[in-house]
Amino acid sequence: MSMRVWSIVPFAVLVGCGTQPVPGCDTGCDTGGDDLEVALENDGIACVYSQDFGEVYPGGDDTYEEDAPLTIKVVFDECFTGAADVTDDSCTATVDGAIIEVEASALVTVPSGINPSDCNAVVVHCETEAAAAGTYTVEYAGGTTTVDVPSTTEPPCTVDGVP
């Protein structure tokens, strides 16, 4: 059994999703003048998109073609104020046969004194090399989903949630 690490192109963004307090900041982030740093690692959901996932988000079917890359979008459980800074983001997809194991992390820094009125999800993406025809099982944060290549279907996610 061979193991192959697919190349990745990670990037992270904050995506608006409502109003909730920053983790550890029920009434604002008065941390005595220090910024609050929150490490995120392997939680939330992972969804699988074709290379052009932006054209189907949010909702709708996506087309997975043979010999084309798969894009994996990880949305972490916690959300943060738009004033937060996302650094040290990482997303990897390790392939062993028909299993794609995804690992993701990010470091979020929230400036001191911020009283958040918005809640933005931290989203990390990575892209695989071209996927051969077959059924792939994607594993992330204790959840799994499958994607058939080639196919046209709603983007699958590792747990119930918005893709």
User: Length of the chain in residues, anyone?
Assistant: 163
Distance CA 21, CA 87 (A): 20
The per-residue pLDDT of the chain, averaged, comes to: 78
Helix H or strand E encompassing 139: strand 134-140
Query: Which of 21-25, 30-34, 48-52, 80-84 is predicted least confidently?
Result: 21-25
Prediction pTM value: 0.77
DSSP for 93-127 reads EEEETTEEEEEEEEEEEE-TT------EEEEEEEE
